[in-house]
Amino acid sequence: MPAATVNGIEIHYGVLGADRPGLPLVLTHGFASASAFWRPDVEPLAETRPLLIYDVRGHGKTSAPDDPESYSLPTCAADLAGLLREIGIERAHVGGLSMGGMITAQFAVDYPDVCESVLLCDTTCGNAADPGPGGDWERRVLEGMSALQHFVSTVGLRETLIREWEYKEANDPHFDVTPYSIEDDFRRIEMITVPGYVGAANAICARPDLTDRVTSITAPTLVMIGEWDDFLPCAERDHELIPGSRFVVREECAHGSRWRNETFRSEIEAFLADVEAGRPVAGERRV
């Protein structure tokens, strides 16, 4: 992967389908992951347009500063803006999954002129300010992230992952049909350091609540979520907040793009086709 120096760090990125016509699609991966791990889920999207994937600050091959103060979601959004400037992308379809969706929401309100469209997948625009069910889940996320930081700092990444899987096996009603495996996750955590993990977790916990700002998003927006995803009430709220957004619920899917991956990709492709044809995107659908 090539690298660009942005905001004092090296960001590693890749452009797939660079010879394809049209505006690029920029996708940001989730927490404690990396573009190399996510690539099989999204690479087919490069068949019709350029696709930019990259490693977020603290992840993959991108720099992982030791100072926790070096991490915040506005900083991650600024990193992406700097990367796009550095490689000459002035406008793009901008999206992300989970933490990547949080970065995308921040990017959309901080750099609206760059966004041809916005794609928010399995994510939230808020951070516990909402008194309703969306805020309830965000408060649980804060508790969970704090616990993960503690475990990683005391017992390490591998043991924390083992404990996560033990918890899922005991509590997740869809554990027996998950498309992910602990072996996959062992590969995934090899792509992150403890400072990167803790810094990114801190950034998620301290992220700005954007529920008052996303109402100003004017770019066509896709809000997509799995029906079994605990972020569902957040996505329902965010769809209501973002004018003219499209809300897609993927049936029999939990958190992550690997659940019924063909629907994840096909809904993105259908949304982008409508945007580029100038068709209205507003509405709700289940797939």
Q: What is the mean pLDDT of residues 240-254?
A: 98
- Residue 118 near residue 51, CB atoms below 8 Å: no
For the entire predicted model, the pTM comes to: 0.97
Q: How confident is the model at residue 252 (pLDDT cuts 50, 70, 90)?
A: very high
Write the pLDDT tens digit of every residue in 76-120: 999 999 999 999 999 999 999 999 999 999 999 999 999 999 999
Rg (CA), the chain: 18
Q: What is the mean pLDDT of residues 44-51?
A: 97
Q: How confident is the model at residue 215 (pLDDT cuts 50, 70, 90)?
A: very high
36 pLDDT exceeds 90? yes
Name the residue among 204, 208, 196, 198 with its Cα closest to residue 57: 196
Per-residue pLDDT at 45: 98
127 pLDDT exceeds 90? yes
Sign of CA dihedral 142, 187, 76, 260: negative
Name the residue among 123, 115, 72 with its Cα closest to residue 94: 115
Write the pLDDT tens digit of every residue in 143-180: 999 999 999 999 999 999 999 999 999 999 999 999 99
219 pLDDT exceeds 90? yes
Contacts of 154 by beta carbon, 8 Å cutoff, 6+ apart: none
1 pLDDT exceeds 90? no
Percent of the chain with pLDDT over 70: 100
Q: How confident is the model at residue 141 (pLDDT cuts 50, 70, 90)?
A: very high
Q: What is the mean pLDDT of residues 6-35?
A: 96
Per-residue pLDDT at 67: 93
Percent of the chain with pLDDT over 90: 99
Q: What is the rounded distance in angstroms from the CA atom of residue 76 to the CA atom of residue 80?
A: 6
**What CATH number should be reported for the domain whose range is 3-286?**
3.40.50.1820
